């Protein structure tokens, strides 16, 4: 794919922009976990991802076409899978470490994930007026 098509966000659908935001956010999360020991590379990846997220978010606000039921299911499934992966990873860490801090982090991530899923559900299925 040419770089000009990738950076031209006005031609993309609302669903595609949302998927790209999800993947960019997930990639940013993974890069924070992987490149933690390489500060310069981590900074570059974070800045590039943040710039793209800002541009894509502003373009996404302009799109008003509604999601199909299948697209809603896909988006909510991605949100649920990401939350499950994070929570299960932190549960495994808490079980291996046996420290109070790891259990506190796990429980905090669990509560935030549940709130995130509830908000995602509200945005996709309940709030049809803003779609």
| pLDDT tens, residue order, the chain (131 aa) | 455 555 677 788 889 999 999 998 888 887 777 766 777 877 888 888 889 999 988 988 888 888 899 999 999 999 999 999 989 999 999 999 999 999 999 999 999 999 999 998 998 887 554 54
Q: Which of 45, 54, 56, 43 is nearest to 6 (CA)?
A: 56
pTM of the model: 0.78
Q: What is d(CA 115, CA 121) in angstroms, rounded to the nearest whole number?
A: 10
Tokens linked to 110: 């669990």
Taking a C-beta distance cutoff of 8 angstroms, is the pair 28, 45 a contact? yes
CB burial readout 64-78, b (16+ within 10 A) else e: eeebeeebbeebbeb
Those residues with Cβ within 8 angstroms of residue 78's Cβ, 6 or more apart along the chain or in another chain: 19, 22
Q: Which of 81, 83, 89 is nearest to 106 (CA)?
A: 89
């Amino acid at each position: 794919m040419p770089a000009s098509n990738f950076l031209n966000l006005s031609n993309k659908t609302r669903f595609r922009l949302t998927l790209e935001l999800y993947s960019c956010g997930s990639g940013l999360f993974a890069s924070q976990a992987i490149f933690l020991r390489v500060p310069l590379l981590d900074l570059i990846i974070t800045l590039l991802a943040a710039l793209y997220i800002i541009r894509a978010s502003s373009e996404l606000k302009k799109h008003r076409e509604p999601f199909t039921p299948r697209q809603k299911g896909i988006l909510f499934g991605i949100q649920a899978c990401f939350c499950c992966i994070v929570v299960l990873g932190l549960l495994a860490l808490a079980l291996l470490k046996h420290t109070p801090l790891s259990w506190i982090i796990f429980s905090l991530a669990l509560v935030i994930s549940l709130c995130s899923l509830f908000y995602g559900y509200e945005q996709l299925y309940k709030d049809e007026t803003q779609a």
